[in-house]
Amino acid sequence: MSRDGDARGLEAEAAAAAEAARELREAAAALVATRAAEEDALRRRAVALDADVRRLQGSLPALDPSTVDKIEEELERARVAITDSDVASFLPSKRNGKFLKMFLGPVNVCVARKEDKLKIKDEYNNYRDRTAYKFLLFPSILLLLRWWIWDGCLPAWAVQMYQAWLLYLYTSFALRENVLIANGSDIRPWWIYHHYLAMVMALISLTWEIKGQPDCSNKQRGVQLFLRWAIMQGIAMHLQNRYQRQRLRTRIALGKAKRMDVVAGETAGVEGQLLLLYPVLFILQGFEAYVGVLLLQTALHGLASEWQVVVCGILLVVMAVGNFVNTVETLILKLRFKAKMKRAKNRQDRPHQN
């Protein structure tokens, strides 16, 4: 009897559990349907408002220049409010670029929650900080060991290990930046292309025969100059990471930049910092072009006739010219922005004067 009673009790509990599961399934389905309908309505509103803002921004060139600044500022704040909030999750997501598809396949890398997107950005900034120290440390160690241990002649394995690290570094930069773009960050296209070119150069450098004695100093002159340029690049990265982020925080506070925007170029800092940052960048770009021209001259004079020398020389010159053009463009944009802010301040002061 006790066994029969226990069986009937368990059967009743199992039936109750099945009924509760059915009710829970129906409630969950109803909630999902309601949420889907609400999300669809919000998605239509977000897409319509985003289209209106873009249409209004496209109409600005036809207006009187004296009234454009105020309207442009309001539209920019509206754009940031849309793209830098949870509203962005209701806008059509950007497709993965060819670079991401090549490495990850057709995987959706877009993150729905804003907090998770900001974590991706913070990790990217921290990675830049860590990389700047390594960019300064590794070539410095190689040059010091060249004199202290290797008798003025770098061994091929040490240089190739460094080039392998550069290939990993620029590939990881390109991957992270493509993920950031897919999640709404604004990054200048040139800085992505720059990392693609740097990846190609590092890959080619791995196949470059590093010659030693005799006459090691002349044979490795290009490598030595490249390492010195890398040290300067590490210094410039420190300046960029420190100074540019201050300016970006200010623009975010003013509503002129999104929280997902990152520093990936020559966005300027405050006035005193410009006096240090831009000269260092221009010197770095000039030295980069000089190393590229030197490699080309080495190939032309027959000191190193490998095709890797020619290709690396061309890539360095192309990257130096591209960096210089983008730095000048950013400087011009900053000067225009300062002029626009000055005009806005003058308009605000006129009523007080009257």
Contact 292, 313 (CB under 8 A): yes
Q: Could you tell me the sign of the dihedral formed by the alpha carbons of 251, 252, 258, 263, in that order?
A: positive
Between residues 227 and 72, the one the model is more confident about:
227
176 inside domain: yes
Between residues 179 and 45, the one the model is more confident about:
179
Contact 341, 303 (CB under 8 A): no
In this predicted structure, what is the pLDDT of residue 294? 84
Q: What pLDDT digit, counting tens, does each position of 69-124 carry? A: 677 777 777 777 776 666 666 666 666 778 888 888 887 787 777 777 788 888 88
Longest dimension (CA), the chain: 105
The boundaries of the domain holding residue 171 are 103-346
Most confident residue range from 64-68, 83-87, 308-312, 332-336: 308-312
In this predicted structure, what is the pLDDT of residue 321? 93
Task: Tell whether 245 and 181 lie within a shared domain.
Answer: yes
153 inside domain: yes
140 inside domain: yes
Q: Which residues touch 68 (CB under 8 Å, ≥6 apart)?
A: 60
Between vectors from CA 49 to CA 47 and to CA 53, what angle results, nearest 5°?
115
- How far is Cα 242 from Cα 278, in angstroms, rounded to an integer? 14
Task: Tell whether 21 and 119 lie within a shared domain.
Answer: no
Residues listed for the chain: 354
Task: Tell whether 148 and 274 lie within a shared domain.
Answer: yes
In this predicted structure, what is the pLDDT of residue 200? 92
353 inside domain: no
Q: Which residues touch 314 (CB under 8 Å, ≥6 apart)?
A: 292, 296
CB-based burial of residue 44 (10 Å sphere; 0-12 exposed, 13-18 middle, 19+ buried)?
exposed
251 inside domain: yes
Q: Is the pLDDT of residue 134 over 50?
A: yes
Task: Tell whether 193 and 82 lie within a shared domain.
Answer: no
Q: What is the 3-state secondary structure (H, E, C) of 212-252?
A: CCCCHHHHCHHHHHHHHHHHHHHHHHHHHHHHHHHHHHHHH
End of a domain among 66, 90, 114? 90
Between residues 297 and 270, the one the model is more confident about:
297
Between residues 22 and 10, the one the model is more confident about:
22
CB atoms within 10 A of CB 60: 14
Task: Tell whether 158 and 294 lie within a shared domain.
Answer: yes
Torsion of CA 192, 197, 201, 202, to 10 degrees: 10
End of a domain among 62, 90, 118? 90
Q: Could you tell me the sign of the dihedral formed by the alpha carbons of 105, 106, 107, 110, in that order?
A: positive
Task: Tell whether 322 and 182 lie within a shared domain.
Answer: yes
For the entire predicted model, the pTM comes to 0.72
End of a domain among 67, 90, 113? 90
Task: Tell whether 206 and 134 lie within a shared domain.
Answer: yes
Total tally of structural domains belonging to the chain: 2
**Peptide bond before residue 214 is cis, with ω within 30 degrees of 0:** yes
Task: Tell whether 77 and 152 lie within a shared domain.
Answer: no
- How far is Cα 195 from Cα 97, in angstroms, rounded to an integer? 15
3 inside domain: no
Local structure of 270: helix, strand or coil:
coil
Helices (H), the chain: 2-59, 65-83, 98-104, 114-148, 156-182, 189-206, 216-219, 221-239, 245-253, 271-300, 307-353
Task: Tell whether 56 and 148 lie within a shared domain.
Answer: no
Q: What is the mean pLDDT of residues 289-296?
A: 86
Q: Could you tell me the sign of the dihedral formed by the alpha carbons of 105, 108, 111, 116, in that order?
A: negative
Task: Tell whether 201 and 280 lie within a shared domain.
Answer: yes
309 inside domain: yes
Contact 121, 260 (CB under 8 A): yes
In this predicted structure, what is the pLDDT of residue 300? 78
Task: Tell whether 209 and 339 lie within a shared domain.
Answer: yes
Ramachandran area for residue 99 (φ above 0: left; ψ -120 to 50: alpha; else beta)? alpha
Instruction: Look at the block and give the residue holding tokens 């005009």.
Output: 343
**Whole-number average pLDDT of the chain:** 76
Between residues 5 and 134, the one the model is more confident about:
134
Task: Tell whether 252 and 139 lie within a shared domain.
Answer: yes
351 inside domain: no
- How far is Cα 85 from Cα 105, in angstroms, rounded to an integer? 28
